[in-house]
Structure 1
Amino acid sequence: MKITFLGTGAAEMYPAIWCQCENCNKALKEGGRNIRGNSAALIDDDIMLDMNTTCFMVAANNGISLASVKHILVTHPHRDHLAPEMLKWRRMKPGQDQLPFEPQHDGWSARYTHLPEVTVYGSDSVWMAMNQVNTNLFSFGGYDTAAHFERIEDGAEVQCDDFSFIPVRANHKKEHAHNFILIRNGKTILYAVDTGGYSEEMLTLITSKKYDCVIMEGTFGLGFYDKKLEGQPDKEYLTGKGHMNLQKNLAMLRYLTKMGCWKNEPNFYITHLCPHFTLPHDDYQAMLEKHGIKVAYDGLQVNL
């Protein structure tokens, strides 16, 4: 299994698009791994985790085509994770991909080559958000988008081709949000963005698996430290809502290790980073590597 990070920033991105604070200015000046689009990921070449407006440019800048994607797993409908209008650009008039190159330009289409059918998986909240943008994203007039939608339920495993995934109910905001346990070819990962913790049931589900890799959001980083949690069992850190900070990331890493959830050595990445609570990449990685946490960056590929 290959994981490609197609974005590792929070909603405001990194640097924040309207900010000139110390972190944002340093990221802008130094560039490279400090520049983060909205969070998304690609598994092998056919599974996307979230679809926002920036992930396509991250892919293109790293020489990656998303034309082979067959499955899009959507965590929740917030705009930095779901941009339904991007499906419009799959439109093609029937037969356009069968014509010689020059005649194709006698009529407009968003594409002129064949695409595999893509399934978008999400909650009712995701479906509602997609319909608010456009009620016919999956049947765009006389155009073929080669896409359809399937609803998912908390804890109900979904079998797709040669992989399966389990939606884990996240504790984010009022909208229904999911994290995903994804299993393919003997490899198991947890992709956990936009949650501040879990219910007892969902935490039990998470710890029932052994992982090759865990990818967890670290939005609030060095902020929102909760002194009331000092000395408490790690499990107590994982019951909140909203977003994770470093305090919770460390607790999650310790708890997974305590519960025997690693197939081999711990392999723990953080993503969805806000510039106002996390340091620029190299500084943050230097701080966290002693704790066994790896800081993901846009374009990073991890082979399991």
Structure 2
Amino acid sequence: MKVKYLGTGAAEGIPALFCHCAICEQARVLGGKNIRTRAQALIDNELLVDFGPDTFFHTLKYNIRLADIEYCLITHNHDDHLYAQDLRARKRSRAILRPGTPPLNVYGSLGVKNALCPDKEGFITKNKSVRFVLFNAYERKQIGKFTVTALPAVHGGDNPFVYVIQKGGSTFLYAHDTDYFMDETWKFIRDLNFHFNAVSLDCTEGKKHIDYMGHMNFEKMVYFCKKMQSIHAINDKTLIIANHISHNGLVNYAEACGIAQNYGIIVSFDGMEVEV
């Protein structure tokens, strides 16, 4: 699988819109890999993960024909991961689609469905160009050429998920906006004998000390990976990626890389591509 990181930032992006902090000011000057749009990924040009407020920009920057994509996983209903208003641009009154263009299949929890249909407009039910498919925790679905399993995230919002994505013998864990998993989730991973070729983990808080649940920093990432090693879900060949990075994490790109290399972790940047 080829995973393209379209956006690698947290809710505010870097530089944050109204922020004067050192990280944001450095990003404005240094540019390049210090600039982070809201988190989104595209796998094999077929499977989109999340649909945040920077989706339009990503289509322009990376020449993505969004109308040709059939599958979109939504992790949860926070608006940096699901900007539902832009999905309405696929309505037939707003988009001229070629005859035979399949619908965009949007997968997520009941919380995601509620965010897509917050009123009686019936956007999903009436609009045949977008189709919602409900995921339940620990459920596995065949999505095109991919096998996808939803795992419960430890995060706010309504039933947030992270996803195990499998194709062609490769297994990828995309786990952002989550903390250390619940015991039942670790048991599920162990019982299903998942072995991950690559793991993309939340590193929202970078080097900052945190005492709340819902996100991780480098310290929690390392603890998370040690648990995965203990249940043989990863080994020394597994690619570990720090992603979903906030300016609140107090690291620019170079500083993050300096910390990450001590643990064999690579740091994501907008536009990065990895083979899984």
- TM-score (normalizing by structure 1): 0.84
Residue 241 (structure 2) aligns with: 269
Instruction: State the SS of the aligned residue for 2:248.
Output: coil
Name which of 88, 91, 96 aligns with 1:111.
96
By how many angstroms is 1:219 displaced? 0.6
Q: Is the 8 A contact 1:85 1:134 kept in 2?
A: no
* Kept in 2: contact 1:212–1:264 (CA 8 A): no
Q: 1:66: how far off?
A: 2.7
Q: Distance in 2 between matches of 1:133 and 1:222?
A: 41
* Structure 1 equivalent of residue 123 of structure 2: 137
Query: Residues 65-116 of structure 1, C-alpha deviation per residue, up to 9 Å, x if partnerless?
Result: 33321111111100000011122221335xxxxxxxxxxxxxxx43354533
Matches within 5 A, 1:185-264: 185-207=168-190, 208-225=193-210, 241-262=213-234
What stretches of structure 1 of length at least 5 have no aligned partner?
94-108, 227-239
Aligned residue runs from structure 1 range 1-304, under 5 A: 1-92=1-92, 109-113=94-98, 115-132=101-118, 135-138=121-124, 146-207=129-190, 208-225=193-210, 241-262=213-234, 265-304=237-276
Q: Which amino acid aligns with 1:51?
A: F
Q: 2:204 touches 2:217 (CA, 8 Å); kept in 1?
A: yes
| 1:222-277 C-alpha deviation (Å, 9 max, x unpaired) | 12256xxxxxxxxxxxxx73111111101112222232223660201111111121
Change (3 A) 1:174 1:3: closer
User: Are the aligned partners of 1:171 and 1:177 in contact in 2 as well (CA < 8 Å)?
Assistant: yes
Superposed CA RMSD: 2.0
Kindly indicate whether the alpha-carbon contact (under 8 Å) linking 1:87 and 1:137 is maintained by their aligned counterparts in 2. no
**CA distance in structure 2 between the aligned counterparts of 1:278 and 1:246, rounded to whole angstroms:** 12
| Residue aligned with 2:123, SS | coil
Q: Quick check: which has more Rg, 1 or 2? A: 1
Deviates more, 1:263-272 or 1:43-52: 263-272
8 Å contact from structure 2 (residues 74, 106) kept in 1: yes
Task: Tell me, yes or no, if the aligned pair for 1:84 and 1:133 is still in contact at 8 Å.
Answer: no
The DSSP-based 3-state class of the residue aligned with 2:249 is: coil
Q: 1:106-157, CA deviations, whole angstroms, 9 ceiling, x for partnerless residues?
A: xxx43354533221111111111111277332366xxx65211111111011
Taking a change above 3 Å as real, the CA distance of residues 9 and 134 of structure 1, as seen in their structure-2 partners, is: farther
**Is the CA contact (8 Å cut-off) linking 1:89 and 1:111 kept in structure 2?**
no
Q: Answer yes or no: is the 8 Å Cα contact 1:85–1:137 preserved in 2.
A: no
Unaligned runs of 5+ in 2: none
Query: Is contact 1:8–1:271 with CA below 8 Å preserved after alignment?
Result: yes
Give the residue type in structure 1 aligned to 2:57: M
Residues 287 and 224 (structure 1), Cα distance of their counterparts in 2 relative to 1, 3 Å cut: closer
Question: What amino acid maps onto 2:102 in structure 1?
Answer: P
Separation in 1, partners of 2:120, 2:80? 18
Distance in 1 (alpha carbons) for counterparts of 2:33 and 2:131 = 35
Q: Contact (CA 8 Å) 2:77, 2:157: kept in 1 or not?
A: no
Deviations 1:167-193 (A, max 9, x none): 101111252100001111111100101
Aligned length: 273
1:45 Cα deviation after fit: 1.0
- Cα distance in structure 2, aligned partners of 1:259 and 1:300: 29
Q: State the 4+ residue runs in structure 1 displaced beyond 3 angstroms.
A: 111-115
Going from structure 1 to structure 2, the CA distance change for 1:279 and 1:59 (only over 3 Å counts) comes to farther
Q: Secondary structure at the match of 1:132?
A: coil
Q: What TM-score, normalized to structure 2?
A: 0.92
- For 1:252 and 1:133, locate their aligned partners in 2 and report how far apart those are by CA, in whole Å: 39
